[in-house]
Amino acid sequence: MTSKLTTLLFSLINLTSAYTPLSDASLSLIPSGSSDFDPLSGALLSPILIPRVPGTPGSETAQHHFVNFFRTHLPDWTVQWHNSTATTPATGNKQVPFRNLIFRRDPPWATEGDVARLTLVAHYDSLYKPEGFIGAIDSAVPCALLLHVARSVEEALRRKWVGMGEGDGLGEEVGVQVVLLDGEEAWVTWTDEDSLYGARKGCWDGILTSNRALAESWAGEGNGAGTFSTQMESISLFVLLDLLGSANPTIPSYFAKTHWAYEHMATAERRLRKLGLLETKEAKPFLPDLQKKSYQFTMGYVLDDHVPFMERGVDVLHVIPTPFPPVWHTMDDDGAHLDISTIRDWAKIVTTFVAEWMDLDGLLPPLASAEKPNKGGHEKEEL
């Protein structure tokens, strides 16, 4: 009884994440991804700059890229598939497969039902029409960014958790997951039915169900039912990246409810800029709404993969530019129209946000030599 209560109290404290800003020294250790975001040869991005229509070979290539990346470089991250099928207005009676991928890193001692997870999300499918559409900003780049972020915090997470055994870890049940969603795009025109196939359809309900079953079996084994009865509740913040990779983005703060999280990311950007650690030198920040007041929020937002989650009460930080970049949903949304400096700056901004959320100050390893300034990693690439 007592110990259970203690666990519960500690866990409740976790719900307000102990967000700790990185020191200037730690900020200088945040990697940019260097040439890995090169559209022609970059290890993270170039393999997925292909059409990725659900149920086609390009979609499978992207899935393999993600799974192989985690298996090879981040073996401590668990991999889960969430598979479903649906008909679409463009494909008649055919059941089109949709496959969401979830890569998860929890504290090693933690019981699954107790972990609050920072949830980093992008969609990897591309538009069905126009034929040959690539979707570089929509959303190959956001997916590649999330692989980079996971890789960039792994060593610090390991260092942090290695010293925290069972018991010491109380109050630290904070994990992180990367969710790569399929079927965001409409096949004909955007409607509630023709969109968000991956985020909306049975697959996520599937996890809810299986998690309940899991929680019940744990209860039966005397592990307690956990703090969170569903995967949905265990999402501490749903950070959705979309349409990133074009130059000069402007990302508004969309939601008063999560403006505090926006402020954290915008502050990270401001500090990185001030320290000369970002490559883009425009006067305008990517995240300009640092001073937005509660009465300035409108009801307007962009329909995207967060909607089914937000409707179920999940807190959302939507990192998507308004206005959309001019290449949006055109054949020009390809590798040639990306701005690598902007992508690498996003890589640092999002990695910093995650490192601060996960409390990694002082734990980041030295930069790889390719990342060091003046060693070939930071020149502006000609596209």
Ligand X SMILES: *[C@@H]1O[C@H](CO)[C@@H](O)[C@H](O)[C@H]1NC(C)=O
Catalytic residues: 184, 242
Judged by beta carbon, residue 83 or residue 250, the one nearer ligand X is 83
| CB 321, min distance to Zn ion, A | 13
Helix axes 340-357, 259-274, angle to 10 degrees: 120
Judged by beta carbon, residue 126 or residue 152, the one nearer Zn ion is 126
Partner from Zn ion, ligand X, none contacting 345, C-beta within 5 to 8 A by type: none
Three-state SS at 244: coil
Partner from ligand X, Zn ion, none contacting 83, C-beta within 5 to 8 A by type: ligand X
Query: What is the Cα–Cα distance from 277 to 265, expressed in whole angstroms?
Result: 15
Three-state SS at 356: helix
How many angstroms separate the most distant Cα atoms in the chain? 64
- Segment lying near Zn ion (by CB under 5 A), choices 8-16, 104-112, 132-140, 314-322: 132-140
Residue bearing tokens 């609050």: 116
Given the rule CB under 6 A, which residues bind ligand X? 81, 83, 99
Judged by beta carbon, residue 38 or residue 138, the one nearer Zn ion is 138
32-35-39 Cα angle (round to 5): 115
- Segment lying near Zn ion (by CB under 5 A), choices 82-90, 133-141, 149-157, 357-365: 133-141
- Pairing mode, if any, of strands 235-241 and 96-105? unpaired
| CB 83, min distance to ligand X, A | 4
Q: Is 333 in the site for Zn ion (CB under 5 A)?
A: no
178-379-361 Cα angle (round to 5): 45
Q: Is 138 in the site for Zn ion (CB under 5 A)?
A: yes
Partner from ligand X, Zn ion, none contacting 318, C-beta within 5 to 8 A by type: none
Q: Is 114 in the site for Zn ion (CB under 5 A)?
A: no
**Range list of β-strands (E), the chain:** 78-86, 96-105, 116-123, 174-181, 235-241, 316-319
125-128-133 Cα angle (round to 5): 80
Residue of minimal CB distance from Zn ion?
138
Partner from Zn ion, ligand X, none contacting 334, C-beta within 5 to 8 A by type: none
| CB 71, min distance to ligand X, A | 13
Cα distances from 342 to residues 146, 248, 249, 270, in angstroms, run 15, 8, 8, 14
Non-local CB neighbours of 170 within 8 Å, separated by 6+ positions: 6, 7, 10
Nearest to 334 by CA among 134, 37, 36: 134
Judged by beta carbon, residue 198 or residue 335, the one nearer ligand X is 198
| CB 350, min distance to ligand X, A | 27
| CB 126, min distance to ligand X, A | 18
| CB 60, min distance to ligand X, A | 7
Query: What is the Cα–Cα distance from 337 to 339, expressed in whole angstroms?
Result: 7
Judged by beta carbon, residue 138 or residue 154, the one nearer Zn ion is 138
Partner from ligand X, Zn ion, none contacting 138, C-beta within 5 to 8 A by type: Zn ion
Helix axes 141-162, 340-357, angle to 10 degrees: 30
Partner from Zn ion, ligand X, none contacting 95, C-beta within 5 to 8 A by type: none
Judged by beta carbon, residue 232 or residue 327, the one nearer Zn ion is 327
Q: Which residues bind Zn ion (CB under 5 A)?
A: 138
